[in-house]
Structure 1
Amino acid sequence: MNESKPTQTGVPSADRPWMQYYPPQLIENLEIPEQTIGEYLRAHCPGDDVVAMHYYGNDITWKQLFEQVDATARGLKALGLGEGDAIPTFLRAVPEFIYLLLAAEKIGASILCRDNTLEENVEAVRRSGAKVIFTQDYLSQRELNSYRHGSETQIAVLVSPYRSAHYASMPAHIQKYIDSNYPDKPAYGGRTMSWDWILEMGEKYTGQVEAPRDIDRPLFRAYTSGSTGPSKQVIHSAHTMIGNLHQMNFYGASDEFRPTWLMTQLPPSLVAVVVAMMLLPLASNKLLILDPFCAPEDVDLEMMRYRPNCWPLIPMFIETIMRNGRVPDDYDMSHLFSTGAGCEAFNNNQMKRAQKFLYDHNCKAQFTSGYGCSEAGSNLTLPMSSYPLGNGNVGIPMPLSVMSVFRPGTHEELGYNEMGEICVTGPGNMIGYDTARATARALQKHDDGRIWLHTGDIGYMNEDGVVYALTRGSAPRFGFPGKELATLPMENRLADAEIEGIKDEFFVIIPDTEHNHHFLPYLYVVLEDGYTIDDIKDDVDACLDDYMKPMDIFQLPERPFFHFKTNRIGLTQELIHSDL
């Protein structure tokens, strides 16, 4: 650690106080390589015969991985795909997804991922103009017809979850989950092809395969979750993906030990999954264990089966492990080298419960919170566990990125400990959205000449460069000028008060229909057995400032999740359409 603390001018983007925590020798040698993702992985490949990925009993070496990429690229060309084409992909995190991504890069195409409703997925394909889609083979005939009639889709390439697996090595609960996805009438007929058929077509292809090298052309298109508005298509190139990936890659394995990295359930329709959870372990000499067909409720079984050193956790996963009660009291979780939650904000109550659970199971790693977004290519910060955790502490900016806080709706940079919009300029920022208007709102050129990504998230930075992410978007409450309904600080007020009877709590903020551009808070709680809302209401009010007090409090049996996040979207819709 560099102990020298920089002189501060009051402007975080100029001071960059977080750099005091990075060793000077790291910064001197850290620059983003101008490589394709394929070139980047080859440069970090530990050897052709080393196992790159494990998929349900099947070890896939680096040699096999590169061979499959080449074969897939020829197959894509045989299908008539090439430079500039978008390839809609509805695969789980199976090995074939990685082959397809790297093959698309070779031929100059881009992968298009979306994991929303069928109607939204069909719309994404229609807008892409694609004639070929790739999907798991449990696509139903009804779904195929929806793609055919609602877009230009002519062919669906079907991939079996069992194709790259050793069936006998798959636990019963994995097979059960896979089988549960199959409809009564799977897609069939001349509009479908198997993955192996595509590879056979590629063997006969004799034309040019590789497109002119261009690390800045679109490569990966994914949609935001839509948690703060309409879902938007985010476009990344090899350059921007490596721009984020390379800033994390100095956490590589040592020569003496090669860690394992378990990737459960999360789909590659999320930028963070592809960049930080699939490409990062491959590029940093970790054994990537792909486990995409683990049901969300069975992540504890897979954690105990694989005993990974690294496991990308999200709040839903750690909550599931604690809820299920299947992890024995004497189970040793010391195999986990690092623990933390990304995906959404983690309040002090959640963090305390998670840390206690881990300590009780001999995991000594400090539980941290992460922060990032699709538009920035994945992670925006790295954990700062030596600084007091909780209260929205999400760590320090990555070494080649500059973060600061601006007055919402302006280019006015704020000082330390002033709450505003979190913005970042750096090599991981997206090319843009698929519409110029949306891109112009998010990527803005400031007076310093740099392009800043305006995240829409609200938080602040302290004098040491530690970022605190507090809520999504500005949410003023009518009658309280200058007061913002920042969900995380409000939840932490209740968490720190340790109100008797409350196990978990979170706020949902909805539009105030009587006052435009203002919002109203509602509180949801999970209570200990025997407690009611009446038992906690006075204590809740006593903890909160007047503008924070909820319009109403609702009891839930447990925190609900949807698309891997607390289901605030669903609860918001319920509130809006209720008779409150």
Structure 2
Amino acid sequence: MNKQGKVTGKASIDRPWMKYYPESLQQLQIPHCSLTDYLRQNNADTSIPVIHYYGRELTWNDLFRQADAAAKALCALGFKEGDRIPTFLQAVPEHVVLLLAAEKIGAALICRDGTLEESVVAIQNSKSPVLFAHTYLSKAEEDRFRAETQLERIVTLSPYASADRSKMPEHITAYIDSLQPAEPACAPENLTWDQFLALGEGYTGPWEAPADPDRPLFCAYTSGSTGPSKQVIHSAASMLGVIHQMTPFTASLDFRLTWLHTILPPSLVAVTVTMILSPISSGNLLILDPFCDVQDLDLELMRYRPNCWALIPEFIEVLMRSPRIPADYSMDYLYAAGVGAEPLNIKQIERAEAFLKAHHCPAHFSVSYGMSEGGSGFTLPCPTQPLTDCCGGMPMIATTLAAFAKGTQQELGYGEVGELCKTGPGLMLGYDDPESTAQALQRHPDGQLWLHTGDYGYMAENGTVHVLSRGFPERFGGGRLFVMEMENRIAFTPGMDDGFFVIAPDPEHEGYFLPYLYLILEQGADQAEVEQAIRSALEPHQQPVEVTLIKERSYFHFKTNRRELAAEIAARVPVTV
């Protein structure tokens, strides 16, 4: 409600989600400080373990000590305030060390986990002569980097650097072995991680930059699952804008939680902000497990028995299809189980809920919504409301979400579909492209800076957000092609095990799109009967132009692989306009 307690019909004014939050938190203030200071303030006992990494535990003292040493070593290598430091690391403790070290000297990390071509561009954009990468970087990749960028040297980090190898299970070491190239990067100028840290021991020059929470600190790339990947720039202040809104809830229990983080790379904003920094900010023990093959996630879940695990759709699918999880296996230790990354249709949600219930998981299955440009986390679960019509939870306590008419700054009412926009803490500083930044970050008549997400959906009067589509694809002749709307219509079609739509450009009508259905049948189902039932459930403009049978849902960057499938369609369907 607004301050006068009146309902205006506009979510940005009424903020109806506030009724779900306790009054003691409704005036939550976001601290304006460095990331290092925030972590110290939230964790008074720096002697306790904060990260568990393959048999070894690191305390806050370990992290802060290594961060100082790494900061001095960065200065010894020539890095200074305002510089960009490219890193191609997985979610290892050294990622946190380098992030804190970069803040100390006033620099920023550029994190990347993409194709070779994307990696080349990231190094070029950093203008840095030094790269941080794992020891399994190949000589061929190194040669390409040296030939096409300004790179002079690589600091190589072994996956075993902070681990106790004797305590690592065979499937983890086997996965690491599978990453090793026949010929690794080997230029004589390269340094090991230990050699890098040793540089700091002899450094006597200045190394601490003036504190500035608004300075760029973390540059990452969007996942690229729905279009070209873009570099997103965040500061300590923008990251803390999200972290501080999550901390009161993850730190509210009377015992210490364990948080499991597996194979998602820290080059995703959601990983660094909400899956790494948020748990450790809350005083919980973070279990880093980045070298686990996706098909072995079931083994790691049963080995660690975590209280919390940030699942995504591909992860929960692996668990549900695992033959290694006994039917009577109890997940009573798992207190938080939810998904983000992409919306789920109603059948996917129902199957996940049934799976967790069958395994005695006490957690309420939840979904959330966010994106890199807004610091990753926009919403929190709203347990009192059902997960219907693509519900993405409720806005976080200091966050405002609203729907606006397409291409405008005109806010819509409850239930009206428009572009979802966010204002409040956590907004990126911008992209590395000013024109794209101006399109995404817009000053509205209310004086607030709003992030235009490009996602379409609506705000419900109960305070929840419903995310229906990425973009506003329309079919020639009329009718919007919102993937989740269409998938929910056909989700429980008899004989269909799973299915999803891919929206691709209409080759005959520029600016319009066509739907393609990828279908997985239940064993013994008749394809013609299933297709007929599907078409009966869809509106005329939603009818797929093509139905392709597949054996299983494919993923790209852990999301349904709509991007590559759309590219395949475009490549084989000739454009006639």
Normalising by the smaller structure, the TM-score range is over 0.9
Cα distance in 2 for partners of 1:321, 1:519 equals 34
Residue pair 2:500, 2:519 contacting (<8 A) in 1 also = yes
Match for residue 368 of structure 1 among 366, 369, 387: 366
Matches of 2:155 and 2:356 in 1, distance apart? 43
* Residue number among 533, 540, 544 corresponding to 1:550 in the alignment: 544
- Deviation for aligned residue 1:315: 0.2
In structure 2, the residue matched to 1:534 is 528
Say if 2:381 is the partner of 1:383.
yes
What SS does the corresponding residue of 2:306 show, helix, strand or coil?
coil
- 1:356 positional shift: 0.8
| TM-score (normalised: structure 2) | 0.97
TM-score (norm 1): 0.97
Mapped to 2, the partners of 1:251 and 1:565 lie a distance apart of 27
Provide the identity percentage.
51
Q: Measure how far apart 1:579 and its partner are.
A: 4.8
Instruction: Say whether residues 1:523 and 2:542 are aligned partners.
Output: no
Deviations 1:39-72 (A, max 9, x none): 0000111412211000000011111111111111
Letter in 1 for 2:64: F
Contact 1:310–1:337, Cα closer than 8 Å, also in 2: yes
Contact 2:225 2:561 in 1 (8 A): no
SS in 2 for 1:364: coil
User: Is the contact made by 2:226 and 2:562 (CA closer than 8 Å) also made in structure 1?
Assistant: no
Corresponding position of 1:26: 25
Kindly provide the amino acid, as one letter, of the partner of residue 238 in structure 1.
Answer: A
Distance 1:503-1:125 versus aligned 2 partners, 3 A rule: same
Please say if residues 380 and 398 of structure 1, whose CA atoms lie closer than 8 Å, have aligned partners that are also in contact. Answer: yes
Runs of 4+ in 1 over 6 A off after TM superposition: none
What residue in structure 2 maps to residue 575 of structure 1?
569
Give, in whole Å, the separation in 1 of the partners of 2:523 and 2:44.
Answer: 53
Distance in structure 1 (CA, Å) of the matches to 2:245 and 2:82: 28
Q: 1:324 offset after TM fit, Å?
A: 2.3
**Which digits, 9 at most, give the CA deviation of each residue in 1:293-327, with x for residues without a partner?**
01111111100000000000000000011122211
Cα–Cα, structure 1 residues 427 and 556, in superposed 2: closer, same or farther, change >3 Å? Answer: same
Counterpart among 481, 492, 502 of residue 488 in structure 2: 492
State how far apart, in whole Å, the 1-side matches of 2:391 and 2:252 are.
29
Contact 1:351/1:390, CA 8 A, preserved across alignment: no
The residue identity in structure 1 corresponding to 2:552 is E
CA distance in 2, matches of 1:390, 1:286: 32
Contact 1:55–1:290 under 8 Å retained in 2: yes
**Residue 259 of structure 2: aligned partner:** 261
Tell me, yes or no, if structure 1 residue 565 matches structure 2 residue 563: no
2:42 is the alignment partner of 1:44: yes
TM-aligned CA deviation for residue 5 of structure 1:
11
Match of 1:77 among 57, 75, 78: 75
8 Å CA contact 1:111, 1:221 repeated in 2: yes
1:249 is paired with a residue of what secondary structure?
Answer: helix
d(CA) in 2 for partners of 1:355, 1:545? 29
Cα 1:441/1:362, change in 2 over 3 Å: same
* Preserved contact between residue 237 and residue 431 of structure 1 (Cα < 8 Å): yes
Cα distance in 2 for residues equivalent to 1:579 and 1:149:
37
Number of residues paired by the alignment? 573
The answer on whether the counterparts of 2:153 and 2:187 sit within 8 Å (CA) in structure 1 is: no
Q: Is the 8 A contact 1:533 1:554 kept in 2?
A: no
**Is the partner of 1:507 in helix, strand or coil?**
strand
Question: Which residue number in structure 2 is paired with residue 10 of structure 1?
Answer: 9
Q: Is 1:91 matched with 2:89?
A: yes
- SS of 1:456 mapped into structure 2: strand
- Structure 2 unaligned residues grouped into runs of 5+: none
SS state at 2:407 partner: coil
Q: How far apart, CA to CA, are the structure 2 residues paired with 1:394 and 1:148?
A: 44
CA contact (8 A) 1:46 1:285 kept: no
**Residue type of the alignment partner of 1:22:** Y
Q: After superposition, where does 1:135-534 map in structure 2 within 5 Å?
A: 135-254=133-252, 256-480=254-478, 483-495=479-491, 498-534=492-528
Deviation for aligned residue 1:178 = 0.5
Which residue identity does 1:487 align to in structure 2? V
Q: Distance in 1 between matches of 2:162 and 2:390?
A: 41
Confirm or deny: 8 A CA contact 1:312 1:341 kept in the other structure: yes
Structure 2: distance between partners of 1:202 and 1:21 = 49
Matched AA of 1:10: G
Judged with a 3 Å threshold, the aligned counterparts in structure 2 of structure 1 residues 409 and 255 are, in CA distance, closer, same or farther, namely: closer
Q: Distance in 1 between matches of 2:65 and 2:266?
A: 22
Cα displacement (A) at 1:364: 3.0
Q: Is the 8 A contact 1:123 1:150 kept in 2?
A: no
Rounded Cα–Cα distance in structure 1 between residues aligned with 2:4 and 2:476: 42
Secondary structure (helix, strand or coil) at the match of 1:142 reads helix
How far apart, CA to CA, are the structure 1 residues paired with 2:337 and 2:5?
A: 30
> For the aligned residues, what is the CA RMSD?
1.4
Per-residue CA deviations over 1:477-506 (Å, capped at 9, x if unaligned) read 1112xx2111111101112xx221111111
User: Distance between the aligned counterparts of 1:216 and 1:277, measured in 2?
Assistant: 22
- 8 A contact 2:49–2:60 mirrored in 1: yes
SS for the counterpart of 1:312 is: strand
SS at match of 1:465: coil
Secondary structure at 2:310 match in 1: coil
What amino acid does structure 2 have at the position aligned with 1:128? S
* Contact in 2 for aligned 1:5/1:17 (Cα 8 Å): no
Contact residue 533 and residue 553 of structure 1 kept, 8 A:
no
Q: State the shift of 1:254 in Å.
A: 4.7
Q: How far off is 1:6 after superposition?
A: 4.3
Greater CA drift, 458-467 or 245-254? 245-254
3-state SS of the aligned residue for 1:421? strand
**Which whole-Å CA distance do the structure 2 matches of 1:558 and 1:150 have between them?**
38
Q: Report SS of the residue matched to 1:530.
A: coil
SS in 2 for 1:101: helix
Alpha-carbon distance change, 315 to 83 in structure 1, aligned in 2, over 3 angstroms: same
